[in-house]
Structure 1
Amino acid sequence: MHPRFSSPAPSPADSQDIAATDLPVLYADEVLAVIDKPAGLMVHDSALARGETDFAADRLREQFGRPIFLVHRLDRATSGCLLLAFDRETASALGKVLMSREVEKDYLAVCRGWPAEDAFEVDHDLDGGPGKPLKKPAQTRFAVLARTELAVPGSGFETSRYALLRAQPQTGRFRQIRRHLKHLSHHLIGDTSHGDGRHNRTFRMLGIHRMLLHAQRLAFVHPRSGERLQVVAPADTDGEFAKALAMFETAPPSS
């Protein structure tokens, strides 16, 4: 990866006021860029905005001083790699690459429970979200990176088990990772729509209020140069995600 220009990711203190700074640039050249989107910022206006007025797309147009074309989306509560283009031709080329599954997308996720297998795939059709009832094929590959078991006073249970996962969606359905984890009953921590309220409350007691899903890595072939790019958004620059990752430091390796 050879970025033309970049800016450092904000410190945990800076990230408390995401409106005060430009969005961190992980890679940029004359035709495309990859941004590190903070959790809590909507990517663009939509039916889900509910009166929201602050959007990453608007900020990025002002930040770069030119039109931008979003190549894919991230949920408001998800942080990490967001791919965009600066012209329609590049956006179209990148969109075709996404559709052909030639883009590698790695997410970090924290879920309730310990999956039985270290590596597994979910093949479970999903609809397109509100107003889109037609179900389409959806596949996500998962790998367990670490496990931990926490004592949670007052929860009614002696301990609760959690796993740190790498998720690799092979398709791009609405809230795919979150809904596939719900399908497995390994709900994503912090997910207020598809998660488990008891476990979400446990993490809030521990000072973690965000949804624990982070778009960590994008790898794809540059549509102009033919170079294979790999862009990584560190998860530990977000104070709350870093706190969650620290819970797994002494966890036994998955084996």
Structure 2
Amino acid sequence: MIEILHQDDALIAVNKPAGLAVHRSKMVGNAESFLIDELRAQVGDTVYLAHRLDRATSGVLLVARSSEVAAALGEQFMGRDVHKDYLAVVRGWPEPAEGLVDYPLPGSRDTGPRREARTRYRRLATVEVPIPLGRYPQQRYALVACAPETGRFRQIRKHMAHIHHPIIGDCQHGRSDHNRLYKQYFGCHRMLLHARRITLRHPLEGTPLVIEAPLDAAWTALLDRFGWSIEGA
């Protein structure tokens, strides 16, 4: 069952699990299950995607209950009236602790001309683990809050890699040696990027709507192990 975070006559917000593709596309290869199909069966009605999350990313995903609502939500996303907050675990300790990555990115599938892309980040917590890797006897990691101001393909993943702090578990833009370390020592087999919160105007009522998605077991286990807290983040 897909976890439903919010449901009304206009839209449904779900907590997308990591590893579940949102819909059929060439990008997901031989995936056999898709969130949009499972949700249609679960609610017994037609639903329409309002936006997307990468297959490896978890967290808040909005689904419209009509094509008209999907179009209205799309206008909010295009107009940058929707605020999205993500959590990520990255290699290293970003300096400065808070900043803006302003680096143009190409469109979907890395094709086409580069377009403006901006992501704000804020370092929430750090840890140093006594595990040798390469020429370093200890490894540094950070819990980071990310807020994309634009909506380019894999934007947060590419921007964190661009500033040399790739997201743990990112097979395309991350570090395979650190990904393996997390699997071996921490039993973490997912990409550590979570769409924690989304803030928008209700497409019919016009009132503010804030939806949050809880973390899964892999995330909470790491927070406990590293002594990290997301209270107030």
Please confirm whether the aligned pair reaches a TM-score higher than 0.5, indicating the same fold: yes
Distance in structure 2 (CA, Å) of the matches to 1:241 and 1:119: 22
- Asked whether the equivalents of residues 81 and 232 of structure 1 are also in contact (C-alpha less than 8 Å), the reply is yes
The answer as to 2:173 corresponding to 1:194 is yes
Distance, in Å, in 2 between the alignment partners of 1:171 and 1:105 is 10
Matches within 5 A, 1:140-151: 140-151=119-130
For 1:247 and 1:143, how far apart are their aligned partners in 2?
21
Distance 1:95 1:169 in 2: 16
Structure 1 residue 49 corresponds to structure 2 residue 46: no
Q: State the shift of 1:129 in Å.
A: 3.5
The residue number in structure 2 matching 1:226 is 206
The root-mean-square deviation of aligned C-alpha atoms, in Å, is: 1.4
- d(CA) in 2 for partners of 1:215 and 1:115? 20
**Residue in structure 1 matched with residue 222 of structure 2 by the alignment:** 244
Instruction: State the 1:153 CA deviation.
Output: 4.4
Please report how far the alpha carbon of residue 131 of structure 1 lies from its aligned counterpart in structure 2 after TM superposition.
Answer: 6.2
For the pair 1:214 / 2:185, whether they are aligned, the reply is no
Question: Offset at 1:152?
Answer: 0.8
Structure 2: unaligned runs, 5 residues or longer: none
Per the alignment, residue 59 of structure 1 pairs with: 38
The 5-angstrom pairing of residues 1-40 of structure 1 reads 22-40=1-19
Does residue 1:179 correspond to 2:145, yes or no? no
Q: 2: CA distance between counterparts of 1:99 and 1:194?
A: 26
How far off is 1:157 after superposition? 2.1
Count of aligned pairs between the two proteins = 228
Q: 2-side partners of 1:222 and 1:131: how far apart? A: 32
Asked if the contact 1:208–1:243 (Cα under 8 Å) also holds between the matched residues in 2, the reply is no
In the TM superposition, residue 165 of structure 1 has moved relative to its aligned partner by 0.5
Query: 3-state SS of the aligned residue for 2:160?
Result: helix
| Alpha carbons of structure 1 residues 250 and 70: separation in structure 2 relative to 1, 3 Å | closer
> Following the alignment from structure 2 to structure 1, what is the Cα–Cα distance between the partners of residues 153 and 110?
12
- Comparing 240-249 with 175-184, greater Cα deviation is found at 240-249
Q: Any idea what SS the aligned residue of 2:141 has?
A: strand
Q: TM (normalized to structure 2)? A: 0.94
CA distance in 1, matches of 2:117, 2:223: 28
Question: Following the alignment from structure 2 to structure 1, what is the Cα–Cα distance between the partners of residues 122 and 100?
Answer: 9
